[in-house]
Structure 1
Amino acid sequence: MIHSNLLSKRSIMDAEAPNRSTGIVNGKSSNILNWDDTAYSWAYPKYKKMLANFWTPFEINMSQDVKQFAELREEEKEAFLKIIGLLALLDSIQTDYAGKVADYLTDSSLNALMIILAQQEVIHNHSYSYVLSSIVSKKQQDEVFEYWRSEPILRKRNEFVTNGYKMFAEEATIENLLKSIVYDVILEGLFFYSGFAFFYNLARNQKMVATSTMINYINRDEQIHVDLFVKIFQEILRENPEYNTEELARFVEETFKEAAMLEIHWGESILGNKIQGINMNDIEAYIKFYANVRCNQLGFERPFEGFRTNPLKWIKAYEEVDLGKSDFFEQKSRQYTKVNQVDNGFDDL
């Protein structure tokens, strides 16, 4: 067992330190940001990618969804509202967590990425309010934002993540930071995914297409966020190899197994086999598949034997599309600048 030293917060200004940081945590840095002189070559391409994805809820025309929501089956309406309530809770937590991590990253470029990430999480939360205010009354909207208090299954899975974050928030050590990043990857790379599948299933049946377009934008952002935290996780271990232990590997495997079971339980309660077009056996396999993907991304063994391919073949059209600057579902032109593939000598993502 490693007795972790407390992490030092990044200085607002350190005139004695170089601009290029000497370490991802507990390093020295002036805190002056020069994108042409960063310690991590992947930071600038990630910055470009995150900027290229910029969007706001105001871009989405909800008029058709307003008409269609009233026509949904009762089980679809219930799932729609409860999943929106869940997503709102998770992204609220995520906004705060990004800021707490940023304080301890002794690299000004990574601090900048955390600020952009937090802004995107705020936009995600706004999108949920935007959707709800379009289709339900203010009273019902307020009820949706209270689901996290009253739904026992929701509370259990939410507390699973928030307790992991609290360990780091209350004692900022390298070990606790690494573990909190595992919970982050679960939140952004696993806990959203049965909800995403629900909205994409509606879209493939030409229901609530505007909401599903917004969900696709959020899905795309979350994939980038997972990749960013994976990079940070790997850099911490590269610079501090003494923390890359068998104990950490066991923690990752066991935590992902528990997370997958919580997500499956949630899926059974909200989707079951009552949503037309969604089979719960497929959702369970889908969740285990993504648990394997995320563990592998972090550099550890996959927790579930098999589950190497995505069982929801149809969903790839929604998950893997690069919306670029056009609306995938409605094919409307959007006026933004396409990111150049080669810039400032860095390799793009």
Structure 2
Amino acid sequence: MLSWDEYSEDANTPTNPTVAAPAAPSPAAPAVTEPPAGNTVPAASDIFNGVDLDAAEITAGLEDLEMTGARVRAEDKRIINATSDVNQVVPIKYDWAWQKYLDGSQNHWMPQEISMAADLALWKDPNGLSEDERRIVKMGLGYFATADTVVANNLLLSIYKHITAPECRFYIGLQFREELIHAHAYQYCIESLAMDDGEIWNMYREQPSVARKAAWSLKHTEVINKPEFVTGTPEADKEFLKNLISYYVGAEGIFFYCGFAAILQMGRQNKMTGVAEQFQYILRDESMHLNFGIDLINQIKIENPHLWDQEMQDITTRLIAEAVMLECEFARDMIPRGVLGMNANMIEQYLKFIGNRRLTQLGLKELWKGIENPFPWMSEIMDLRKEKNFFETKVTEYQQAGALSWD
């Protein structure tokens, strides 16, 4: 074992400064030895200076590994069920995924950068917010406090391991980190407002409209979370595709929008501006997550057209309709009366508008005819240009949103 009393960076420097070092002998000329003949492997004892390692044991079995020598080709890559090496990113095939990874890597923020002082003062003021406005803040934070953790766990435990395109894995890894930052942001808001009494944290178990959204999301991980689940058959691949649709399109593409619209509307009226700014940063991230998920699903459809049969299209339409219905229920619970210039009917119209948008992004027919966006300012905040997926625009550059502004 190393001892700092015995160790010295310079072998000729004494470790005890009070004892003079003996004079160093004149260095002798190094002995000239012949290099070993052939490709001789040094003995383990020579390399590890006496540590008990057996070189033969270390290399045992390595010669049995199959080394084909075949190089990875871009055309061999697939989103799922690829036989190419998932460890080798280059050559890049999915430029849209790689570009999103590059863009997202420049988009870093932390919750503590945003001051919550004004929010705390307003929250503590008995006349600062109405009860309906307080309900919006509580229910918004109550749902989101666990929603992003549910999404992050699904990414890490269910989705990542079945995606065989390395450049897509890069973005999923980045998204996982962003989901944790979002969960951190909600925690930061809750603790800054001294809401840590258990009501908010347990809302996804105890508030029916919140619990049903969480249960709907968790239901779609049951099958693919099983250790024995693997893709590679039409049945398994469809189950995996249902997971992607329920999470990227349902949870992130629909479930987030009522809470975001209500909180951002408060920010536009200079109320709870710290919470609203956190939500605006998060919404910017989530629009990119949704964009990636839509592209991912559409690419799987292209590579596996047999999966996108009429049955799968009907399942997708039903999943989107269910998500809109559950979010409308949440909206009526969150906004039981008109407040902030919005009401549950307007939110419901907005959610049907969003639902139609999701259907058309996947190449499906709209369910709700003649629906317009009652909150055009949401599109401006979110920058819907980033919601255009690769298959609509055929471009791979998505500009980052500029400086946040409530104007």
TM-score (norm 2): 0.73
Aligned to 1:23: 78
How far off its partner does 1:297 sit? 1.0
Aligned to 1:39: 93
Give the AA of the match of 1:175.
K
Equivalent runs, 1:38-117 vs 2, <5 Å: 38-70=92-124, 71-99=128-156, 100-117=158-175
**176, 179, 194: which one pairs with 2:239?**
176
How far off its partner does 1:18 sit? 4.0
Q: Distance in 2 between matches of 1:18 and 1:278?
A: 58
- Mean Cα deviation higher: 122-131 or 276-285: 276-285
TM-score (norm 1): 0.84
Pair member with larger Rg: 2
Q: Distance in 1 between matches of 2:259 and 2:71?
A: 45
Q: Distance in 1 between matches of 2:142 and 2:344?
A: 21
Alignment RMSD: 2.1
Give the AA of the match of 1:56.
M
Using the aligned pairs only, state the percent identity: 25
**344, 364, 374: which one pairs with 1:311?**
374
Residue-by-residue CA offset, 1:186-244 (whole Å, 9 max, x unaligned):
10010010100111110111101111111011111111111111111111111111111
Name which structure has the greater RCO, CA cutoff 8 Å, separation 6+: 1
Aligned to 2:53: none
Aligned to 1:339: none
Q: Distance in 1 between matches of 2:146 and 2:368?
A: 28
Structure 1 residue runs without a partner (length 5+):
1-12, 331-349
Q: Distance in 2 between matches of 1:128 and 1:14?
A: 49
Q: Distance in 2 between matches of 1:266 and 1:66?
A: 26
Give the AA of the match of 1:87.
F
8 A contact 2:103–2:400 mirrored in 1: no
How far off its partner does 1:277 sit? 1.5
Equivalent runs, 1:118-267 vs 2, <5 Å: 118-138=176-196, 140=197, 142-170=198-226, 171-172=229-230, 173-184=236-247, 185-267=249-331
Distance 1:103 1:69, change over 3 A: same
8 A contact 1:165–1:183 mirrored in 2: no
Aligned to 1:336: none
Q: Distance in 2 between matches of 1:226 and 1:317?
A: 17
**331, 347, 361: which one pairs with 1:297?**
361
Give SS of 1:89's match. Answer: helix
Q: Distance in 1 between matches of 2:317 and 2:373?
A: 20
Residue-by-residue CA offset, 1:267-325 (whole Å, 9 max, x unaligned):
00111224232122211100000001011112211222222x31112333322288746
Structure 2 residue runs without a partner (length 5+):
1-64, 231-235, 385-398
Equivalent pairs counted in the alignment come to 314
Q: Distance in 2 between matches of 1:219 and 1:125?
A: 13
Aligned to 1:326: 403
Give the AA of the match of 2:181.
I
8 A contact 2:253–2:290 mirrored in 1: yes
How far off its partner does 1:96 sit? 0.9
Q: Distance in 2 between matches of 1:110 and 1:14?
A: 26
8 A contact 1:285–1:311 mirrored in 2: yes
Aligned to 2:11: none
Q: Distance in 2 between matches of 1:14 and 1:88?
A: 47
How far off its partner does 1:97 sit? 1.0
8 A contact 1:14–1:29 mirrored in 2: no
Give SS of 1:42's match. Answer: helix
Q: Distance in 2 between matches of 1:269 and 1:305?
A: 25
How far off its partner does 1:166 sit? 1.9
8 A contact 1:24–1:105 mirrored in 2: yes
Give the AA of the match of 1:112.
F
